[in-house]
Structures are given as structure tokens and as C-alpha cells.
A = this chain, B = another copy of it.
Amino acid sequence: MDALTATLTVLDYGAVAVFGATGAIAAARRQHDIITFGFFAAVTGVGGGTLRDLLLDTDVFWVAKPSYLVACLAAAAAVWVFGVGATRFRLLLWLDALGMAAYALVGAAKAQALGAPPFSCVVMGVLTATFGGVIRDVLAEEPSVLLRRELAVTPVLLGASTFVGLTELGAPLGLAAMVGFVSAFGVRAGAILQGWSLPGFRGRTPSPH
């Protein structure tokens, strides 16, 4: 394995582990047992990539290579053993921002490799980076990442669009990945540090059912 492949492999497992840790934290908030920690970590860590692979009709990435699940379980064990105080949570928030930026590109690139049209590649990038968190929030009965004000889907959408747009325009892969990653991470950083958000809808809505 050369240095680039090794780096990408570490990043790949790292992102899954960080997503898994956010799942374990959802379990920790309600004082769940270690098995529930593992379940939430696994679902959150691999959920987005699983949906992407099902939609693209390709082998689900962790089934033949369950070491991805082991990474999630290791993250769950770490949260269990060490706990997550304010400082460590802050660190995890930043690692999660890095992981989401990376996974937006990973998801889009996998869809490109399988010949999906550009627009679908962007969608796959967004789903890969966000859907694990969506499932986590539904299962943990927490307010969904979709329903929070702070920007979370937007950075991922920006990064995936930039990456796919640049590669479609013929930019070198490395450049497209770098610009896509920086734009996703930059906007997410603004959301974390400055509470960046988009204006909400102000128009008329019908009364609920």
C-alpha cells in the first residue's frame, strides 16, 4: 500500500469511527447499556454509506469488510470508557465536521465511478455524509439534524456540488477534491463558530392536520 492509499484508508475508517462516536454519545445521553452504545455507533457510522450503496445497487461496503463496524464499536467503547466532557465533545464536533466534508466527496466519487449522472452524484454525497446522523436522531428520538437551525446539510451539499461541478468541468481530481473539501469544511466551521444559518421560511403555511 503506498502512502496515499494508506492516508485515504486512515481517513476513511477515521470518518466512520467519528460518526460512530456521535451515535454512542446519543446513547450516552440517556444512560444506555454498552450493547445499545454499539448499536447506535454502528447504525450512525455506516448508515449513510449503506443507503448510498443500496441506491447505487452496489455491494454494501461493510458487509464483506466488517472492519468498518469494528471501528464503530471501538469508538463506542472509547465513549463508554472515557466519557465525553465539554472539551472532548468540542473536539468531536470538529472531527465530525472533517468527516462529513470528506464523506460528501467519498459518496459523490463512488457514484461517479459507477456512472451516475452528476446531479445524482451530488445527492449521493449528501446522503452518505448526513443519513447516518438522520437515522441516529430518529432512533434516539432526538430532534433530527434536519430540524436544527445550524447549518449541517448545507456545507455537505456545497462541498459535493463543488467537487462534482469541478470534475465535470475537467478539473484535476485532486484540485476538485481539495476545493470541495475546503468549501464544505469552511461553511461548517462558520456554523459551529458563528452559528451561521440560512433564513427560515416566512411565508404562509396551512394549519397542521
Q: How many copies does the complex hold?
A: 3
Q: Which residues of B contact A85 (CB under 8 A)?
A: 204, 206
Q: Which residues of B contact A154 (CB under 8 A)?
A: 33, 35
How many chain A residues have a CB neighbour from B under 8 Å? 70
10 residue pairs, one from A and one from B, having the closest CB atoms:
A83-B203, A33-B198, A89-B206, A83-B204, A31-B200, A66-B119, A85-B204, A28-B205, A66-B120, A35-B154
Tell whether A116 pairs with B147 under 8 Å between CB atoms, given A84-B203, A134-B139, A201-B28: no
Residues of A13-43 at the interface with B, using a CB-CB cut-off of 8 Å, are 25, 27-37, 39-40, 42
A28 to B201, CA, bound (A): 6
Interface-lining segment among A1-9, A56-64, A95-103, A177-185? A56-64
Question: Is A138 interfacial (CB 8 A cutoff)?
Answer: yes
Q: Which residues of B contact A27 (CB under 8 A)?
A: 201
